[in-house]
Copies of this chain bind each other. A is one copy, B any other.
Amino acid sequence: MSKANCLVAQSGGPTVAINASLAGVIAGVRASEQYDICYGAINGILGILNENYLNLNETIPDDDTLDKLKTSPAMYLGSCRHKLPDLKNDDSPYVFIFNQFAKLNIKAFFYIGGNDSMDTVLKLSDYAKKINSDIRIVGIPKTIDNDLCCTDHTPGFGSAAKYIATSLLEIAHDTFIYAVKSVTIVEIMGRDAGWLTAASALARNEYNTAPHFIYLPEVTFCKEQFLEDIREALKTRDNVIVAVSEGIRDEEGNYITASKAVADNFGHQQLSGAGKALEFLVKENIGVKVRSIEVNVLQRCASHLASATDLEEAFLQGKKGVALAQEGITASMVCLRRTSNHPYTVEYDHSPIAEIANEARSIPREWINERGNDIRPELLEYLRPLIQGEVDIRFAEGLPSYMNVSHLKRLP
């Protein structure tokens, strides 16, 4: 019996761990007796629609390249933000995609991504079922936001959390040096879920109590209460450091921003403002030295500070995806179940994609303190294992040595 082939693609926003999951898929296919070639579609589902593929058996031919892939940031295969139409309105892309599967002898399709990507997995699964296709459709999770349902946590989150906590600690060192009253606002990514902002609490240690306050999207933001918090803290300390999620909202559900939010081309509101907004609040109402720091895209692409736990789990979830397909599982996403915190252990499992796509998971309210300005120890216990371990990335000429991604640039 001749072997079938597999296809893998990546979608959504970048993370530090998404290439580790890709490496896991490649390793799984390589070790498989059912599968031969592992194709990669360039720029997510668009790569299939545009017939733009890489043969990953050729571009990632050995363990050395696989290791390098595992520790390179963002998507080796590129990404997209493309929503497939409702099947009942337009089945043409589905027909095209499954024709492509047939043409390349694809028997398993792996899509590595977050909520939006799992919507694609669901729609392809539904179509496969409708046409009685035996092609396995498996989602492999990825998002720094940690907001996917049915899994303990998502690949990419642990590394971003490690970056946030390290940055907070380094910002604290930067802040403590002046003997003048000051407030520092650190704005962290997260529109709807505050997991990453909460991870800033990991920076606390025997000499550092910062961040002194944590404001999350899960709790309605109240300006008066915020100013009261800051005034109170300034009575007992010189330097107050605040971690705030970009997605905090007032009681009417409006984002707290420095300027009126402008809708971008994709209908998202641009959220460059919560940190600046809080900076202005302090400046106008309290009048101490104040600055805001936006922890920018590096929180999702700083591979030089990846969590070893995160990369290893991402890799194994990629491999697990291939194993599931081989067992005949489809219409599912790979999931993690935490079995213990001391010692930290997880099991690799799966859940039906219908329970995951288009759902989001926020921080449970009981893991946030009553006043809504800090997290509880239970959340810290949940977070701490995820940032453990350092990754020995390669350096050349003083800089990290990452995978060549020149195949992503359509133009020279």
Interface residues of A (CB under 8 A from B): 14, 43, 46, 72-75, 78-81, 162, 165-167, 169-171, 173-174, 176-179, 202-203, 205-207, 236-239, 258-259, 262, 265-266, 268, 270-271, 276, 280, 289, 293-298, 300-305, 307, 384, 387-390, 395, 397-400, 402, 404-406, 408-412
Q: Point out the residues of chain B lying under 8 angstroms from A239, CB to CB.
A: 409
B406 touches A170 (CB 8 A): no
A206's nearest neighbour on chain B, judged by CB, is B404
A295's nearest neighbour on chain B, judged by CB, is B296
Given A43-B179, A276-B270, A408-B176: A298 in contact with B171 (beta carbons within 8 A):
yes
Q: How far is the CA of A173 from the CA of B19 in the complex (A)?
A: 12
Q: How far is the CA of A301 from the CA of B395 in the complex (A)?
A: 20
20 CB contacts below 8 A, A to B, read A43-B177, A43-B179, A72-B173, A74-B177, A80-B179, A165-B399, A167-B298, A169-B399, A169-B400, A170-B304, A174-B297, A176-B405, A202-B399, A206-B406, A207-B406, A238-B409, A239-B409, A259-B268, A271-B276, A294-B296
Q: Point out the residues of chain B lying under 8 angstroms from A293, CB to CB.
A: 296-297
Q: Point out the residues of chain B lying under 8 angstroms from A397, CB to CB.
A: 384, 388
Q: Point out the residues of chain B lying under 8 angstroms from A178, CB to CB.
A: 43, 78-81
Contact of A280 among B46, B74, B270, B400 (CB under 8 A): B270
Extra inter-chain contacts (19) besides given A43-B179, A167-B298, A174-B297, CB under 8 Å: A14-B174, A73-B170, A74-B174, A81-B178, A169-B399, A173-B402, A176-B409, A177-B408, A202-B399, A206-B404, A238-B410, A259-B262, A259-B268, A259-B271, A270-B276, A270-B280, A296-B296, A304-B305, A384-B398
Q: Point out the residues of chain B lying under 8 angstroms from A298, CB to CB.
A: 167, 170-171, 298
Question: What 4 pairs between A and B have smallest CB-CB spacing?
Answer: A387-B398, A207-B406, A79-B177, A74-B173
Q: Point out the residues of chain B lying under 8 angstroms from A174, CB to CB.
A: 14, 73-74, 297, 300-301
Q: Point out the residues of chain B lying under 8 angstroms from A300, CB to CB.
A: 174
A75's nearest neighbour on chain B, judged by CB, is B177
Interface centre among A237, A266, A297, A398 (most CB of B within 10 A): A398
Q: Point out the residues of chain B lying under 8 angstroms from A280, CB to CB.
A: 270
A237 touches B398 (CB 8 A): no
Q: How far is the CA of A80 from the CA of B177 in the complex (A)?
A: 8
Q: How far is the CA of A173 from the CA of B268 in the complex (A)?
A: 23
Q: Point out the residues of chain B lying under 8 angstroms from A294, CB to CB.
A: 294, 296
Smallest CB separation, A83 vs chain B (Å): 15
B179 touches A402 (CB 8 A): no
A234's nearest neighbour on chain B, judged by CB, is B411
Q: How far is the CA of A302 from the CA of B289 in the complex (A)?
A: 22
B202 touches A398 (CB 8 A): yes
Contact of A236 among B276, B395, B408, B411 (CB under 8 A): B411
